[in-house]
Amino acid sequence: MGEQKKYDVICVGQVVQDILVTGIPQDAFVSGKDTVLAKTLTLGVGGDAANESAILGKLGDHVALLARLDRRNVGDMIYEDMKREHVDPALIIRPDDCETFSTVVVIHPDGNHSFMVGPGKNFNLEWSDIDLEVFKETRAVTAASLLALGELDTNGIDRIFTTAQENGALTIADMSFDMRGIGPHGVDHVFPHVDYLMPSLDEAVYVTGSKDPDEIADYFLAAGVKNVLLKLGGEGCFFKNHTERFFTDPFEVTPVDTTGCGDNFVAAFTHCLLKGLSHQECAEFASATGALNSQGIGAHTFVQSEEQVLEFMKTAPKRVIKRD
């Protein structure tokens, strides 16, 4: 699908060192004990852009990661992990003053998690890091994620998307928690340049003020987004554009760790778009990839290949949800 280009996808955003912890008591931080024994403690790589890149690489796409990464041991670990996951490192930027931040991910018994985010330093991309020429040489660009792109949220991602679209590329955006407090309308100017917007329900509620999937989708469509895909977690997903509307039911799994499942979903949907599949086929495969990721510890470690996802889809049951 589309002309031959240097990259299938360029993922723009952040990378993080994840410290994943399981099996600690709920009162671990208020019990007064100075030592708590965890069941497992795992060092890993996270961040929306890193997760999407890794999954795209394992699904067989030529993907490049555009992100800042420090020159310390943490940065070296992440750099090598990305190469192992078949991610092209050519666009990674490693300034001397960057300190990649770490996140402690406390995984609860039901597979959900809580984050404790470290401060880091100069880890967000800046407009001075961007060479628009590279976006002429890709079939798709993902922004991972709006509201967490630092300077690019208000100065840059719209221009990146415009350049990509002018050169025939798809533009795809996830969303994230507004940690910098730019406000629910801080990225409104980006929406007219987004081909596919894929927020979680909580993120969409923050921006739109509505919990109704149709109202949420209509808000973003009116703002200029071409296609809206709402991630509903254990309730599946909802797709809407000006001519299509459907829900996709979730696969029935018992989660081990839900970290990164939304990023796996975005990557898998993007992968299928580039293969020319229908929106419903893309959503089914993306839902399966997110569910499969939840079966292991880590944000992008369990999914290994397209073949693995397809085999999972043949055997995993789906939970039928009755909707109004």
Euclidean distance between CA atoms 96 and 89, whole angstroms: 17
pLDDT of residue 324: 73
Residue 265 has pLDDT above 60, yes or no: yes
Task: List the strands of the sheet with 102-107, edge to edge.
Answer: 40-46, 16-22, 102-107, 113-117
Is pLDDT above 80 for 2?
no
Give the separation between CA 283 and CA 277, rounded to whole angstroms.
10
Residue 249, Cβ density class (10 Å: 0-12 exposed, 13-18 middle, ≥19 buried): middle
Distance CA 245, CA 221 (A): 12
| pLDDT, tens digit, 9 for 90 and up, residues 27-44 | 887 788 888 899 999 999
Average pLDDT, the chain: 95
pLDDT score of 111: 86
For residue range 143-180, list pLDDT tens digits in order: 999 999 999 999 999 999 999 999 999 999 999 999 88
pLDDT of residue 1: 45
Report pLDDT digits (tens) over 184-206: 999 999 999 999 999 999 999 99
Contact 312, 285 (CB under 8 A): no
Strands 237-240 and 245-248: antiparallel
* DSSP conformation class of 181: -
Query: What is the distance between the alpha carbons of residues 3 and 308, in angstroms, rounded to a whole number?
Result: 28
Residue 258 has pLDDT above 60, yes or no: yes
Which pLDDT value is given to residue 31? 82
Kindly tell me if the per-residue pLDDT of 307 is higher than 70: yes
By percentage, how much of the chain surpasses pLDDT 90? 89
Establish whether the linkage from the previous residue to 145 is cis, with ω within 30° of 0: yes
For 304, residues 6+ apart whose C-beta sits below 8 A from its C-beta are 58
State the DSSP string of 241-286.
Answer: -SS-EEEEPPB----S--TTHHHHHHHHHHHHHHTT--HHHHHHHH
**DSSP assigned state of 104:** E
Q: CA-to-CA distance for 22 and 4, rounded, in angstroms?
A: 44
| Predicted local distance difference test score (pLDDT) of residue 211 | 97
> What is the predicted pLDDT for the residue at 3?
65
Average pLDDT over every residue of 236-245: 98
pLDDT interval class at 7 (50, 70, 90)? very high
Strands (E), 149-223: 170-175, 196-198
- What pLDDT sits at residue 26? 80
